[in-house]
Amino acid sequence: MENLRLYAAQINPIVGDFKGNFDKIASHIEQAKNQGVDILAFPELAITGYPPEDLVLKPAFIEENLKYLDKIKKLSDNIVIIIGFVNKDFEIYNSAAICSSKKIISIYNKQFLPNYSVFDEERYFQKGLETLIFELRGMSFGVNICEDIYYSSGPTKSQAILGGANLIINISASPYHVGKVEEREKILFTRAVDNRVNIMYVNLVGGQDELVFDGNSMIVNEKGKILARAKSFEEDYFIFDLDTEEVNSTRLQDAKFKNQRDSMKDETAPLKVIKINDFAKNSNKTKNKSLAGITRYDITFDRYKEIISCQEEEIFKALALGTKDYISKNGFSKVVLGLSGGIDSALTAVVAAFAIGKHNVTGVLMPSEYSSKGSIDDSLLLASNIGIDTLIVPISDVYKSYLDNLGPIFKTDKINITKENLQARIRGNILMGLSNENGWLVLSTGNKSEISVGYCTLYGDMVGGFSPIKDIYKTLVYRICNFVNRKYSNIIPETIINKVPSAELKPDQKDEDKLPPYDKLDEILKSYIEEEKDYHDIVKAGFDEKMARDVINMVDFNEYKRRQGAPGIKITQRAFGRDRRYPITNKFKLR
């Protein structure tokens, strides 16, 4: 049996950009044909982009996606193309079309529909019921979609053990969160070894609203060894010549595999076998083309950790990609943000510069009488180090005008929360004015710790079209900034990293005047938000009773603020928004 030449196209589509997505797809098809590829696979819902959400409820959207599937089908001469699309057959399905010889050979409908965390697939799609096996040149392969491979009882088992598939091709749109790369690899390794089958996993890459898809497409063999891998957080592809006979040899020596097959013979799950007619190759030379320069290497998770040097680098790449794609996919080319001299605005500025280029970022200093000279100097030094433009717009005169007009109405002349928030809202208005005047997107600079407890001003420092670090706890902000400085020659001034956090809205103000130290605050927040622990659990873990109660009260009270914040990149398993859905009007207290 000759080797199969496989091609994984790790693309970055835009939801609803059918023409743009098709152009990417067609380019990979042409390249695959030129390289003598047998099977070319694209990610889940590659034609529409993922997730399309309520767009799939619009008939015109589905029809447009089917129109482009027809165009792709016509390009499938001398190759097998597997591509994700929205299928309509009385009901709507998340599907993969298997095309060859300018025909749709068959359609596989996703069986396991995720309906947790950021996923709402049961809202839109029906579950597929039929498991498919394809035969090409004496070799069998199965196709399934994303979540299907996460379950030991899923279609992979039937396809590999009952159907005898040598190869499973799983097309996916699996979003990133911290720890997801290792978690996903373990699942793929387990499925490959348990079923003694090669798995080609083809994942989406890119940012889509609050989600980031990390790519990391790969081939894992029946022994759990990675044979090929695409890059993380970048569009990429790989071509690999797979020896399918190795699977057969391994299975013959594995008594467990034979026993599993015998025990499954009485199962009645539908298993349909479809033969794909062999197709002529363009020339013998094409098939024998050198793969020099093609992504093809053995890379385990340990090796991945060498390429991505640390967790902070992985997160930084996710932030940069998510920010870049949100900006560009929504038609912006430049951004503006406030530079306070603090660590949050520093990290946001660095992320923005890496995402879209330093010449497309403007930092605005908006000093008041409470701004320290150190904060102004630090902001200017940061901007110089990064190479971004700056504007200086003092707010003292505007603030005084507000006080002159509102003073008679206010109850006190003392500096209180009202006057602190006025300053933040003046700054927000300045940023929005610059946005309107220049067509710049405003980046909000708040972190997850502040957003969790409401230590931010609605319509003030919360203004913005996108919030890159909204799912990054303050302690992680410090870790990422230290990584950035190690890798990029201390571009963030050490004075920014080492200074005591302060909003600088009144004299001698410090964050810890109102909040616990961030190391303690973040641990309580993780326990309450991500682990769903209650007050008693948190106190049992050793935290002060009053501190735990105060933090929980602040989180509960500020749901209304979080609902009005800008979208931002999901990094944790429990991000605010689609991940964590709590009512604003709510009298239940987790005590």
Q: Per-residue DSSP letters for 183-231?
A: HHHHHHHHHHHHTT-EEEEEE-EEEETTEEEEB--EEE-TTS-EEEEPP
Q: Is 294 helix (H, G, I), strand (E, B) or coil?
A: coil
- Please state, in angstroms and as integers, the Cα–Cα distance from residue 452 to each residue in 229, 547, 576, 584, following that order: 37, 15, 9, 14
For helices 18-34 and 59-73, give the axis angle rounded to 10 degrees. Answer: 20
44 among known catalytic residues: yes
Chain-centre distance for alpha carbon 347: 19
The torsion angles phi and psi of 559, rounded to 5 degrees, stand at -60, -40
Q: Per residue in 530-560, is it b (16+ CB within 10 Å) or e — as a string?
A: eeebebeebbeeebeeebbbbbbebbeebbe
**Options 44, 222, 312, 450, the catalytic residue:** 44
Give the whole-angstrom CA distance, residue 376 versus residue 384.
Answer: 12
How far is the C-alpha of 517 from the C-alpha of 519, rounded, in Å?
6
**Which residue of the set 24, 33, 99, 146 is catalytic?**
146
DSSP codes, 331-376: T---EEEE--SSHHHHHHHHHHHHHH-GGGEEEEE---TT--HHHH
| Nearest-angstrom CA–CA distance, 515 and 584 | 22
Cβ atoms of residues 571 and 467 within 8 Å: no
Q: How far apart are CA 301 and CA 310, in angstroms?
A: 12
Cα 229 → chain centroid: 18
Euclidean distance between CA atoms 315 and 311, whole angstroms: 6
Q: Are strands 131-136 and 139-145 parallel, antiparallel or unpaired?
A: antiparallel
Q: Indicate the helix (H) or strand (E) that contains 169.
A: strand 167-172
Query: Is 146 tagged catalytic?
Result: yes
Q: Determine contact, residues 13/204, Cβ cutoff 8 Å.
A: yes
Could you tell me the CA-to-CA distances from 384 to 323, 333, 362, 541 in Å, in that order?
21, 21, 11, 45
Of the candidates 71, 2, 11, which has an alpha carbon nearest to the alpha carbon of residue 40? 11
- Cα distance between residue 423 and residue 420, in whole Å: 5
Residues paired with residue 9 on neighbouring β-strands, in sequence order: 237
Told to judge if 312 belongs to the known catalytic residues of this protein, a careful annotator would answer no
Strand-pair partners of 391: 364
Residue 449 burial (CB count, 10 A): 23
Angle in degrees, CA 84, 89, 94, rounded to 5 = 25
Please answer whether residues 83 and 97 qualify as being in contact, where contact means their C-beta atoms are separated by less than 8 angstroms: yes
Please tell me which residue in 73, 110, 317, 419 is annotated as part of the active site.
110
CA angle, 110 as apex, 107 and 113 as ends, to 5°?
A: 160
Nearest of 505, 502, 486 to residue 494 by alpha carbon? 486
* Residues known to be catalytic: 44, 110, 146
